[in-house]
Amino acid sequence: MNALKNLMPHARAVRESSRWGLAIAAVLIMLFGVASTASAQLPAAKRTVIRAGRVLNVRTGELKANQAIVIEGDKIAKIAPSGEVTTAAGDTTIDLPDATLLPGLIDMHTHLTFELSSLSYEGLKISTAREALHGARNARRTLEAGFTTVRNLGAKDYADIALRDAINDGDVIGPRIVASGPAMGITGGHCDENLLPPAFHFQGAGVADGVEAVQHKVREIIKYGADVIKICATGGVLSKGDDPNASQYTLEEMKAIVADAHRLGRKVAAHAHGAEGVRWASEAGVDSVEHGHLMDDTAIATLKKNGTYLVPTLFLGEYMEKNMDRSDIPEYSKQKMRDVIAAMRKNTGKAFAAGVKVAFGTDAAVYPHGLNAGEFHVYVSLGMTPLAAIQTATINASELLGPKFLVGSVEQGKWADVIAVDGDPTKDVRILEHVKFVMKGGEVYKNDYAKR
């Protein structure tokens, strides 16, 4: 009898547990039903089919004729011969029977919020708000030139972060931006503000000196939204009071910057002209060296050994040779530019011949935005094949950006960033200076073929 009494509370507990179990199961079934209904009611991703005369495989150089690219939402779902792809009701079809399609181009070194005037005394009267609006205009020009992704390396007061976010939110038309915010540099260096007299006690937002200070600055810049860290390892050309050959950040400071940036998931791009600065930046572990115009054979060998990308920015030399004397940049900058132009092609040509990894970059702002594709023919003139030059702005640049950026090739699963040109750019790379169709993320932003 006592045993029975002892069992009764246990039985009640089992019944209570069962009731709770049934109640929880019912709730889960209801929630699953709601979720399934909601999922069933979601609209299907927008489907677009581009039928193209030719599609360039930028990995192999193969041109396939009469291809169809099926796009669902913002990604490429399928690539197949046109005859194997049928369209359904509601699909958007874009016919480009005479065009050559290739992936949207990538410029790894731009300054969308700057103009040439921003880099001289004239720039002191330009507000950050005005520079951001310059950036909106320049972003559209860059996208319409076929560059669907850019890395913006240096902007005042995080203007490029604001521009990136405005584009991502659909408020402004432009390329996908990987933004650095203010570039880091030493006091009085290329990335400081050296135009104002001492009474102002003014310095650039990215200035930091010493290991502890540069660690703090990296974290601060990332805090305010930077996707990449840009540093100045040597002096520059358009800055006052410094020498492009002279190193600025020490090897120890750069190692500290790279360690913090990489730990926090950001890559590092180092402005460097002079040989020592190129070597130190590469040994510190930066992901790319920008310019490298005054590097020597040892610096080139260091880049090769460490697998550091070189972003050469060469077309600016050609443009400046033709236009510098009638520009309003200060005379001290003109002389430094002449000195750099005299060496840049020779040294970069050596790097190409040595097999240094190269990603496409322009330094647009030193010349007008939208002329970015002029960089290609300079690479070819220094020994690259047209296909290799195209690869610098597609698969090479994509590798430097990293795997989370689904760009650089027309392949299943990649973002639907596609451009079109007349003719065969693997035979004449200057064709890329005349892009006629631009799609970014499945949306068409330019289609000159539709105007015929």
Token code pair at residue 82? 């046109």
Task: Report d(CA 357, CA 400) in Å as an integer.
Answer: 10
Selected catalytic residue, list 160, 260, 287, 363: 363
Residue 230 annotated in active site: yes
Closest by alpha carbon to 375, among 293, 294, 439, 317?
317
- Hey, how many other C-beta atoms are within 10 angstroms of the C-beta on 201? 7
Query: In terms of residues, how long is the chain?
Result: 452
Geometric angle at alpha carbon 406, from 255 and 424, rounded to 5°: 110
Task: Report d(CA 336, CA 50) in Å as an integer.
Answer: 48
Task: Report d(CA 142, CA 150) in Å as an integer.
Answer: 9
Task: Report d(CA 236, CA 120) in Å as an integer.
Answer: 13
Geometric angle at alpha carbon 132, from 130 and 137, rounded to 5°: 95
Task: Report d(CA 153, CA 285) in Å as an integer.
Answer: 18
Selected catalytic residue, list 156, 217, 230, 436: 230
Pairing of strands 288-294, 267-274: parallel
- What is the Cα Rg of the chain in Å? 27
Residue 446 annotated in active site: no
363 close to 311: Cβ distance less than 8 angstroms: no
Query: Residue 297 is inside which H or E element, if any?
Result: helix 297-306
What are the distances in angstroms from CA 187 to CA 35, 111, 213, 274, 286?
57, 22, 12, 18, 21
Query: Residue 48 is inside which H or E element, if any?
Result: strand 47-56
Task: Report d(CA 317, CA 322) in Å as an integer.
Answer: 9
Catalytic residues: 230, 363
